[in-house]
Amino acid sequence: MSDLTRLTAVEIAGLVAGGETSAVEVTQAHLDRIAAVDDRVRAFLHVDTDGALAAARAVDERRAAGEELGPLAGVPVAVKDVLTTKGVPTTVGSKILEGWRPPYDSTIVQRLRDAGTVMLGKTNMDEFAMGSSTEYSAYGATHNPWDLDRIPGGSGGGSAAALAAYEAPLAIGSDTGGSIRQPGAVTGTVGAKPTYGGTSRYGLVAFSSSLDTPGPCARTVLDAALLHQAIGGHDPRDSTSIPAPVPDVVAAARLGATGDLTGVKLGVVTEFSGEGAEPGVLAAFRESVDTLAKLGAEIVEVSCPHFRYALPAYYLIAPSECSSNLARFDGVRFGLRVGDDGNRSLEEVMQLTREAGFGPEVKRRIMIGTYALSSGYYDAYYGQAQKVRTLITRDFTAAFERVDALISPTTPFVAFPLGARTSDPYQMYLADLYTIPTNLYGGPGISVPCGLSEGLPVGLQVMAPTMADDRMYRVAAALESAVGTLTPPVL
């Protein structure tokens, strides 16, 4: 079977469980696909061929022994290089961790193994998950399978591109300000940011700890829900993990797939549905709103007046937390060490290591964050941003008294050409204009393909109350049932 790479995770798991194909055959098909296209896409930083085939063999043996297999057993998955993988390189897209092989698995990766999925390798990302295009990766950019001269989004562009290029049916991302949803939108795939604390941060290399949320990426809403279910839920190793079961996102996705949204009330965010987005993005979004109404949803406009302050607040809070988190990269404990010739002081070695190991965007954020936290400026910057965060949360709370979920375009623009925004950080930051409020609030958000603009994918974002992740899956699956999945030009 040469078309195993075109199947959904549900289809693959069904074929493996029914003995119509083997996990090894499925895995080999994806490894072959990676070998055929990844020199052009560059989605992967590391392909773990031996580990993948060994995991696949283990699934086939369990099946042969008559063991009950889980709903994702034998399905390949690509993992963003922000999550630790025991013995497998983990770089976070940075030179400072080059060569580091973590001594332990992150909780997400452990749960992927427990579910019988097959990890193909680690995907490319902007350094330390800071960016919206993967161009800030220290290992070179990933290319969008829809148009290889364009960005695949970021920071998890590798995971999204791997899906769109049929190199993997499932992938893991992490979303601090939009890094799952925005790459999903610009590659025509599905990306979900779970409720903060709904997925474990144990073994997720920290960027901004009050925002970082690992989550599922897939080509269909149901596949994303199954992956969400497999990786989510309480983890005692993460102090902010929510001690409650994952909302039944799989049942919600199945319900949504019936295409009936009767009784569901959706709020179009006024501030994110006017000027500010490209006309083609707005047109696709507007058409999808009509579709959602035809499926039975009641649509109203909801103003969230503080959302316009989300971007500036985020660009104080995230760098502040990053400046603290990234202090651990000292040239002593992990990865790179520069200038340790026996004559230099510890401080000099730290300086040389950090100078050589961090890229320009990471340095910019560390400097901004250090400044915003310094005494005399703390109240004016970090303190003020935290107050704005509270106002944004109040906007969400008030909105969810009126509607079940909020909707907007996922990003203001489609995939832009590589290099178009690297010289102006602010232009890059705008990619997450619509996704950041959800992170500051802590609720869940999903991006689902909603159409094309000039031949490139557009995503619609659904935002739900905290711990109501199931609601967004229902709406996203309903839209998908009407719009269909988007298929990129064949590579």
> C-beta of 407: minimal distance to ligand GLN in Å?
20
Buried b (16+ CB within 10 A) or exposed e, 193-223: bbbbbbbbbbbbbbbbbbbbbbbbbbbbbbb
102 lies in the binding site for ligand GLN (CB under 6 A): no
Buried b (16+ CB within 10 A) or exposed e, 280-299: bbbebbeebbebbeebebeb
Q: Which amino acid is at 361?
A: E
Residue closer to ligand GLN by CB (options 179, 325) is: 179
223 lies in the binding site for ligand GLN (CB under 6 A): no
- Which segment (7-15, 173-181, 234-242, 348-356) binds ligand GLN by CB under 6 A? 173-181
132 lies in the binding site for ligand GLN (CB under 6 A): yes
- Which segment (89-97, 172-180, 348-356, 467-475) binds ligand GLN by CB under 6 A? 172-180
410 lies in the binding site for ligand GLN (CB under 6 A): no
SS3 of 388-434: HHHHHHHHHHHHHHHCCEEEEECCCCCCCECCCCCCCHHHHHHHHCC
- Which segment (17-25, 96-104, 127-135, 160-168) binds ligand GLN by CB under 6 A? 127-135
Residue closer to ligand GLN by CB (options 26, 362) is: 362
Cβ atoms of 142 and 41 closer than 8 Å:
yes
Residue closer to ligand GLN by CB (options 117, 179) is: 179
Residue of 117, 134, 176, 288 that binds ligand GLN (CB under 6 A)? 176
Q: Quick one: 18 exposed, middle or buried, by C-beta within 10 A (0-12, 13-18, 19+)?
A: exposed
Rounded to 5 degrees, what angle do the CA atoms 51, 231, 67 make?
65
Residue closer to ligand GLN by CB (options 136, 166) is: 136
Residue of 24, 79, 129, 368 that binds ligand GLN (CB under 6 A)? 129
469 lies in the binding site for ligand GLN (CB under 6 A): no
443 lies in the binding site for ligand GLN (CB under 6 A): no
Cα separation, 176 vs 122, whole angstroms:
19
Residue closer to ligand GLN by CB (options 122, 474) is: 122
130 lies in the binding site for ligand GLN (CB under 6 A): yes
357 lies in the binding site for ligand GLN (CB under 6 A): no
> C-beta of 151: minimal distance to ligand GLN in Å?
12
- Residue length of the chain: 491
Residues 289-318 vs ligand GLN: string with x where CB under 6 A?
-----------------------------x
442 lies in the binding site for ligand GLN (CB under 6 A): no
Rounded to 5 degrees, what angle do the CA atoms 368, 371, 377 make?
130
Q: Which one from 22, 133, 179, 241 is the annotated catalytic residue?
A: 179
Token reading at 33: 């696909």
> C-beta of 158: minimal distance to ligand GLN in Å?
13
155 catalytic per annotation: yes
- Which segment (1-9, 177-185, 394-402, 445-453) binds ligand GLN by CB under 6 A? 177-185
Residue closer to ligand GLN by CB (options 16, 129) is: 129
- Which segment (5-13, 170-178, 238-246, 301-309) binds ligand GLN by CB under 6 A? 170-178
Cβ atoms of 204 and 112 closer than 8 Å:
no
> C-beta of 431: minimal distance to ligand GLN in Å?
6
Which residue do the tokens 């890094």 mark?
179
432 lies in the binding site for ligand GLN (CB under 6 A): yes
438 lies in the binding site for ligand GLN (CB under 6 A): no
Token reading at 177: 């300000």
Q: Which one from 22, 106, 137, 155 is the annotated catalytic residue?
A: 155
Residue closer to ligand GLN by CB (options 116, 131) is: 131
Cβ atoms of 15 and 7 closer than 8 Å:
yes
Residue of 93, 178, 215, 459 that binds ligand GLN (CB under 6 A)? 178
Residue closer to ligand GLN by CB (options 238, 340) is: 238
Binders of ligand GLN among residues 55 to 84 (CB under 6 A) are none
> C-beta of 197: minimal distance to ligand GLN in Å?
16
- Which segment (128-136, 216-224, 299-307, 331-339) binds ligand GLN by CB under 6 A? 128-136
Residue of 48, 105, 175, 321 that binds ligand GLN (CB under 6 A)? 175
Of the candidates 330, 286, 300, the residue with the CA atom closest to the CA atom of residue 460: 286
Which phi and psi angles does 306 have, rounded to 5°? -90, -5
215 lies in the binding site for ligand GLN (CB under 6 A): no
Cβ atoms of 483 and 291 closer than 8 Å:
yes
Residue of 121, 157, 177, 359 that binds ligand GLN (CB under 6 A)? 177
Applying CB under 6 A, which residues contact ligand GLN?
A: 129-132, 155, 175-179, 207, 318, 432
**Residues acting as catalytic residues:** 80, 155, 179
